[in-house]
Amino acid sequence: MSDMTSFIRELPKAELHLHIEGTLEPELRFKLAARNSIALPYSTLEEMRAGYLFHDLPSFLAVYYDAMSVLKTSQDFYDLAWAYLERAHAENVRYAEIFFDPQAHTSRGVAFHTVLSGLRNAVLDGRRLLGIRAQLIMCILRDHSAAYGMATLLESLAYRDLIIGIGLDSDEAGNPPAKFAEVFRRAREEGYRLTMHCDVDQAGSTDHIRQCLDVIGVERIDHGVNVLDDASLVAAAAARGIGFTVCPVSNRYVTGELKAHELRRMLQRGLKVTVNSDDPAYFDAYVTDNLVAAAAAAGLTEPDLVQLERNAFEVSWLGPGAKDALLGELDRFEAAALSEEA
Ligand SMILES: [Zn+2]
C-alpha cells in the first residue's frame, strides 16, 4: 500500500453521498435471494457482475432497481446497512449520511416501516458496536410524480425523528429540481435538512443547480460539478457555503471521466467540496478508493485531502457538539501526520 493510500485510509472521513441500495454487493444479493426464495437470472457471482453493464445514468438505474428485488424484510435492510457500516468503519469513516429510496421499495409492496426499521437498527448498532455515527436521508425519486413524492414525504412524518433530511435522486432528464418545489417547501417546514442531486453533464445542469439554490434553497448539492460552468453560480455557492458531494469513480462510469481536475478546481475556488462513493458495490470503489483515484488523477496533496474531509464534517448535518469533536479528531490526525513528516 502506498504512503498516500495508507494516509487516505487512516484519514478520519465523513461520507455524505452514499445510497444504501448501492452498497448491495453481489454476495449479499445472492444470500438475500436464497433467504427470500427469489430466483435470480445468474448462477454465479461472475455472471452477476458481468450483467452489471452500464454506460450512462439510465442504463445504470435499470440494473440498480432490478437488483433491489431481493430486499424484502427488515432483516434484509439491516444486513445491507450493517455490511456498509462495517466496511466504512474499516476505512475510518467516522460519520455517514446514508440515502435510502423508500419509493423503490414501497412501489413493490415493501412497507415504509420495514425499510426504515431495518436501516435504523443497523445505524444504532453501528454506533454501539463500532463507534461509527450515521444518520438517514430519505430520497424522493425524481422520475416519478411530485404528487407521489409528496405522499412519500407525508408518510415519512411518522418517523420524523429517524430521518435527518430529504434528497432527490434517480433520472434527471426532464425532471428538474423545480418539479419538486412544493415537496421540498413542505419538507423544510417539517424541519428536514435539504439536498438534491444535480448529476454530471446533464441537459440543463447549470439551470438545475440554479434552481437548487434559488427555488429550493438546498444546503448541499449531490454531484454538482457543472457549477464550474457558470462563474456566478460558483460565487453564489461559495458565499452560501453550499456543500458539494462529488463521486469521482461514479462519474467515470456515467461520463467516462473522474472529473478529478474539476474537483481540484472546486477546492481552489473555495467551494465546500467533498468526495464520496455514491453506489460503491456497482462502481467497485468505496470512499478510500474514490479519494485515491482522485488524488492520483489531479495531483491532490495531503493538505488537500484533509481539506476535503474538513469540508465534509463542516457541511454534514451533525449537531454542533459531535461536529466539533470529529473536526478535532481530524485536526489531531493532521498534526500527527505532519509531525511524522517533519
Ligand atoms: Zn447519488
* pLDDT tens-digit readout, 241-269: 999 999 999 999 989 999 999 999 999 99
The domain total for the chain is 1
Average pLDDT over residues 152-177: 97
For 216-247, the pLDDT digits (tens) are: 999 999 999 999 999 999 999 999 999 999 99
Cell of 126: 453501528
Q: What is the whole-number distance in angstroms between the Cα of residue 225 and the centre of ligand 1?
A: 13
Average pLDDT over residues 37-61: 90
Q: What percent of the chain has pLDDT over 70?
A: 99
pLDDT of residue 153: 98
Average pLDDT over residues 162-176: 97
pLDDT of residue 101: 98
Sheet holding 193-198, edge to edge: 13-19, 93-100, 133-141, 165-169, 193-198, 220-223, 243-246, 272-275
For 273-300, the pLDDT digits (tens) are: 999 999 999 999 999 999 999 999 999 9
Q: What is the whole-number distance in angstroms between the Cα of residue 123 and the centre of ligand 1?
A: 20
Range of the domain at 266: 3-341
Q: What percent of the chain has pLDDT over 90?
A: 93
Cell of 40: 435470480
Alpha carbons within 13 A on the beta-carbon side of 310: 16
Cell of 339: 509531525
75: alpha, beta or left? (left if phi > 0; alpha if psi -120 to 50): alpha
pLDDT of residue 102: 98
Does the pLDDT of residue 341 top 80, yes or no? no
Average pLDDT over residues 134-145: 98
Does the pLDDT of residue 1 top 90, yes or no? no
Q: What is the whole-number distance in angstroms between the Cα of residue 336 and the centre of ligand 1?
A: 33
Q: What is the whole-number distance in angstroms between the Cα of residue 342 and the centre of ligand 1?
A: 39
Q: Please tell me what DSSP assigns to residue 91.
A: T
Q: What is the whole-number distance in angstroms between the Cα of residue 329 and the centre of ligand 1?
A: 27
Q: What is the whole-number distance in angstroms between the Cα of residue 279 and the centre of ligand 1?
A: 7
What is the spatial distance between Cα 180 and Cα 170, in angstroms, rounded to a whole number? 13
Q: What is the whole-number distance in angstroms between the Cα of residue 166 and the centre of ligand 1?
A: 13
What is the spatial distance between Cα 208 and Cα 63, in angstroms, rounded to a whole number? 25
Alpha carbons within 13 A on the beta-carbon side of 85: 27
Q: What is the whole-number distance in angstroms between the Cα of residue 332 and the centre of ligand 1?
A: 31
Does the pLDDT of residue 204 top 90, yes or no? yes
- Any idea how long the chain is? 342
For 298-328, the pLDDT digits (tens) are: 999 999 999 999 999 999 999 999 999 999 9
Cell of 82: 450493517
51: alpha, beta or left? (left if phi > 0; alpha if psi -120 to 50): alpha
pLDDT of residue 56: 85
pTM passes above 0.95: yes
What's the distance, CA 110 to chain centroid?
22
Does the pLDDT of residue 342 top 80, yes or no? no
Does the pLDDT of residue 2 top 80, yes or no? no
Average pLDDT over residues 131-153: 98
> Which of 2-6, 71-75, 147-151 shows the lowest per-residue confidence on average (mean pLDDT)?
2-6
Q: What is the whole-number distance in angstroms between the Cα of residue 278 and the centre of ligand 1?
A: 5
Alpha carbons within 13 A on the beta-carbon side of 52: 19
The cell 464520496 sits on which residue?
Answer: 276
Q: What is the whole-number distance in angstroms between the Cα of residue 276 and the centre of ligand 1?
A: 9
Q: How confident is the model at residue 339 (pLDDT cuts 50, 70, 90)?
A: confident
Q: How confident is the model at residue 80 (pLDDT cuts 50, 70, 90)?
A: very high
pLDDT of residue 17: 98
**CATH code where residue 336 lies:** 3.20.20.140
Contact (CB, 8 A) for 267 and 258: no
pLDDT of residue 196: 98
Q: What is the whole-number distance in angstroms between the Cα of residue 220 and the centre of ligand 1?
A: 13
What is the spatial distance between Cα 199 and Cα 95, in angstroms, rounded to a whole number? 23
Q: What is the whole-number distance in angstroms between the Cα of residue 121 and the centre of ligand 1?
A: 23
Q: How confident is the model at residue 4 (pLDDT cuts 50, 70, 90)?
A: very high
Q: What is the whole-number distance in angstroms between the Cα of residue 196 and the centre of ligand 1?
A: 9
Contact (CB, 8 A) for 199 and 225: no
Which of 188, 66, 76 is closest to 122 using CA atoms? 76
pLDDT of residue 68: 96
pLDDT of residue 279: 97
Give SS3 for 339: helix
pLDDT of residue 55: 84
Q: What is the whole-number distance in angstroms between the Cα of residue 28 and the centre of ligand 1?
A: 21
What is the spatial distance between Cα 89 and Cα 132, in angstroms, rounded to a whole number? 6
pLDDT of residue 338: 81
Alpha-helical (H) ranges within 190-342 are: 205-211, 231-240, 248-255, 260-268, 280-283, 287-298, 302-315, 320-341
Q: What is the whole-number distance in angstroms between the Cα of residue 222 and the centre of ligand 1?
A: 7
DSSP 61-76: HHHHHHHGGG--SHHH
Q: What is the whole-number distance in angstroms between the Cα of residue 103 and the centre of ligand 1?
A: 15
The cell 452498497 sits on which residue?
Answer: 23
Q: What is the whole-number distance in angstroms between the Cα of residue 131 and the centre of ligand 1?
A: 25
Q: What is the whole-number distance in angstroms between the Cα of residue 171 and the centre of ligand 1?
A: 10
Q: What is the whole-number distance in angstroms between the Cα of residue 65 and the centre of ligand 1?
A: 13
Higher pLDDT: 342 or 131? It is: 131
